[in-house]
Amino acid sequence: MNGLTLAGAVGVARVLAANRILTDMDISSGRIPDAGAAIIGRGLLLNDSLSSLRMSNNPMTSLGASRLLAAIEENVDSRLCMLDIQSVVVYDDVFAILARLKERLSSFRLICSDSFATRRAASTATQCDS
């Protein structure tokens, strides 16, 4: 297990904001909480090269997931097409953002844990794999 935690999330956000070459990032099991996800989201606001971000097995909740997706949605130049937060159970707030995001990035894929909202979201053309 790496130990990025909240302090490491600041560094990740800086890398995402400045790097224009990086296409894939795996920070799974980094002990990144919701606040760290929000910080990483700020880096995603400025990134136009990343295509996949793996953040499974971090202690974030649906709140952290919604912060990440909101940043991806806000960044009109984002090329992110896959966000893996497999261990996070997400709820309606995440699916609302995901539905709007998929209007612009139709191939975007969210990998998350199953929840009651997953079954309902399947009927609105959003995707959440377990």
User: How confident is the model at residue 3, as a pLDDT?
Assistant: 78
Q: Is residue 59 scored above 70 in pLDDT?
A: yes
Q: What is the DSSP string of 88-125?
A: EE--HHHHHHHHHHHHH-TT-EEEEE--HHHHHHHTTT
β-strand partners of 53: 25, 83
pLDDT tens-digit profile of 67-81?
999 999 999 999 999
For the chain, the distance separating the N- and C-terminal CA atoms, rounded to the nearest angstrom, is: 22
Work out the average pLDDT over 102-108: 92
Closest CA to 115 of 126, 130, 100: 130
Q: How many C-beta atoms lie closer than 10 Å to residue 50's C-beta?
A: 24
Q: Is the pTM of this model over 0.75?
A: yes
Q: What is the DSSP string of 1-26?
A: ----HHHHHHHHHHHHHH-SS--EEE
Domain that holds residue 117: 5-129
Residue 121: give its domain's CATH number.
3.80.10.10
Give the count of domains, the chain.
Answer: 1
Asked if residues 66 and 98 have their Cβ atoms less than 8 Å apart, the reply is: no
Phi–psi pair at 20, nearest 5 degrees: -110, 10
